[in-house]
A and B are shown apart, each in its own frame.
Chain A
Amino acid sequence: MSEAILSRNFNIPDAHKLSVAEPRGAYETARKVIGALKPEEVTNTVLASNLRGLGGAGFPTGKKWQFIPKDSKKPVYLVINADEGEPGTCKDRYILEKDPHQLIEGILISAYAIGSHKAYIYIRGEYVLPYRNLQSAVDEAYAKGYLGKSVFGSGYAMDLVVHRGAGAYICGEETSLLNSLEGKRGYPRLKPPFPAIVGLFGCPTIINNVETIACVPHILKNGAAWFTALGSPGNGGTHLFSVSGHVEKPGVYELPMGVPLRDLIYKYAGGVKGGRALKAVIPGGMSAKILKADEIDVKMDYDGLKAAGTMLGSAGVMVMDETVCMVKMLYYATKFFSHESCGQCSPCREGTGWAHKLVTRIYRGEGSVKDLDTLLTIARNMEGRTICVFADAAAWPIQSYITKFRAEFEDYIVSGRGKAVAAELEAAGAHAH
């Protein structure tokens, strides 16, 4: 395992408290940066570090910050996306719960860089313990004067509000998050205008993921070159990889960007459970296209997985062994997307529901082979036709599971074994139809 940077406090008891975090270096870098460096110097360092948005989009962070208009008369906001929801992903929860001061320090430096005096953290509603630890860390920072009218006595004012979501996957999409933060239904907004120009309350706004912002103090402390060297070309730093499913040691692993997927599964996560054979891997959260067992010799970074026809996304790696039924996994994928579609755009609202009905029919042994082609047509007609990328994300599992495991789907349908599966589920009480 490489050096722990973001996760260095995860196993330290009570590291969410200032009394533990501060002697371990919390706020040291922010204290040196604020007032001493020019905001553009901070942005340039982050730009040179190749830090990319770790929420899933992978957009260069420094470049995003530069989109804030220089002459804005309106206030500038920094919004932290802590609405972790991508299935397979459980990394931001550790930062929020175990080391919130690392995040607050990153917020101080990042807000300073973009000229913001107010930040909001949007945390998913179900994360109650992480919220409590985070809120108490914010209260401690205020009490010490690390937040408030004059941060570290520098004269720089900074306010930070923690805002709880209320159960909606879509609010992880940044413009949906803004609407939700404004007290509305979480409907995504049309872009342009981009949030850097018209964001929260109509003001210039930068939205960054928790882990992205947690990287910032380390970059300022150790330099852009250090951070770049940790990762792979164009993909700076380490990343928190969430590994779950059929592995011996599921967990969150901090490893350099570009670590081979094979190593992640076999070297770090202990290999496939029970020594069984690998069948498939979802490399970047539910939305990422699935990889077959013979496709795992890829580098885990934005460019490596894009070249493999999928994406790094939120780095939520879900491992499936040889016993897994792909029809069942597609059933749960379409269930997820039909449940979470916000309903704003017709192709997505209708498409996700229709797709789930068809997959349910197949799963229960009542489908036909023709349904598979209908599903691919639905997926094609959802992709790229909506306000946000949710519909694309819903289309990709349908396309990749059916295309890569077509023979298995056809065999499942033709054999009629879905009827037995349905009866079993009914007997177990798991499904009521």
Chain B
Amino acid sequence: MGYKGKACDKPAPDFSSKLKALDAQAELIVAKYDQKSAATLTLLHLAQDACGYVTPEIEQWVARWADVTPVHVHGVVTFYSMYHQAPVGRHHIRFCTTTSCVLNGSEDLLGHVKKKLGIQNGGVTPDGKYSLEESECLCACDQAPVMQVGDDYHSQLTAKKIDRILDGLK
């Protein structure tokens, strides 16, 4: 798969207390599935939402709850583009670079974002505020050009609109 973030070169922080606080939710999640292993993706989402990215410690925590091996979890993490193995910005930008957005001028707008933030695909700004991922179709083609910042979609983008959205974030 394409964008996977960079492997983290700093020692991973200790997430044990954060993970302990998620144990009760993890138990409920596992109970929803007919097999524990099926909870793997959902548990990874839960832990990443709390900790920001996925470390070996998190993979082991997921493995314990889902009753699979840590290496299985690692294989899952590396397959899907939404799991990060290194910190991303507080505001992670997925910028659509597929056909309908390209037809509506996304090439220039992507260049605008890169120049504005001073980062390339996979980069994080030095202050840790923004990170950028060139993404494939976000399936909001009727609203192209489109980007996702954090959880939210922003559509019918122009350079001005992008400035307003990104500058308005804390």
Contacts and interface: CB of A to CB of B under 8 A. Distances in A.
Nearest to B35: A201
Contacts of B83: 166-167
Interface stretch (A215-223, A227-235, A330-338, A367-375): A330-338
A143 interface: no
Interface in A183-222: 183-186, 200-201
Contacts of A338: 2
The residue among A167, A185, A428, A432 with the most chain B CB atoms within 10 A of its own CB is A167
Contacts of B137: 85-88, 169, 286, 336
B107 A428 contact: yes
Interface stretch (A48-56, A103-111, A245-253, A405-413): A245-253
A332 B97 CA distance: 8
Contacts of B138: 126
B98 A180 contact: no
Contact of A429 (B75, B114, B141): B114
Contact of B103 (A180, A246, A340, A343): A246
Given A126-B82, A183-B39, A89 B139 contact: yes
A166 B98 contact: no
Interface residues of A, number: 64
A425 B110 CA distance: 10
A163 interface: yes
A340 B136 contact: yes
Given A166-B41, A166-B80, A250-B144, A93 B139 contact: yes
B60 to A, nearest CB: 15
Interface residues of B, number: 55
Given A328-B102, A430-B114, A128 B152 contact: yes
B16 interface: no
A86 B99 CA distance: 11
Interface in A73-98: 75, 84-90, 93
A243 B141 CA distance: 8
Nearest to B146: A90
A336 B81 CA distance: 13
Contacts of B75: 184-185
A186 B78 CA distance: 11
A165 interface: yes
B108 interface: yes
Contact of A181 (B2, B38, B102, B148): B38
Interface string A248-287: 0011100000000000000000000000000000100010
Contacts, number: 173
Nearest to B34: A201
A85 B140 CA distance: 10
A289 interface: no
A422 interface: no
B99 A333 contact: yes
Contacts of A127: 139
B148 A242 contact: no
Nearest to B104: A245
B86 to A, nearest CB: 16
Contacts of B141: 87-90, 242, 244-245, 250, 316, 318
B37 A183 contact: yes
B15 interface: no
A324 B139 contact: no
B120 interface: yes
B1 A425 contact: no
Interface in A288-339: 316, 318-320, 324, 328-329, 332-333, 335-336, 338-339
A231 to B, nearest CB: 23
B80 A168 contact: yes
Contacts of B44: 166
A125 B143 CA distance: 19
A185 B75 CA distance: 7
A203 to B, nearest CB: 9
A165 B39 CA distance: 11
Nearest to A160: B32
B136 A339 contact: yes
Interface in B111-170: 111-112, 114-115, 120-121, 135-144, 148, 151-153
Contacts of A168: 1, 79-81
Contacts of A169: 136-137
A161 interface: yes
A357 interface: no
13 contacts: A87-B98, A93-B139, A125-B80, A126-B139, A180-B41, A183-B66, A184-B40, A242-B141, A243-B142, A244-B141, A246-B103, A250-B144, A286-B98
List of 3 A-B pairs having minimum Cβ-Cβ separation, nearest first: A183-B40, A167-B81, A166-B80
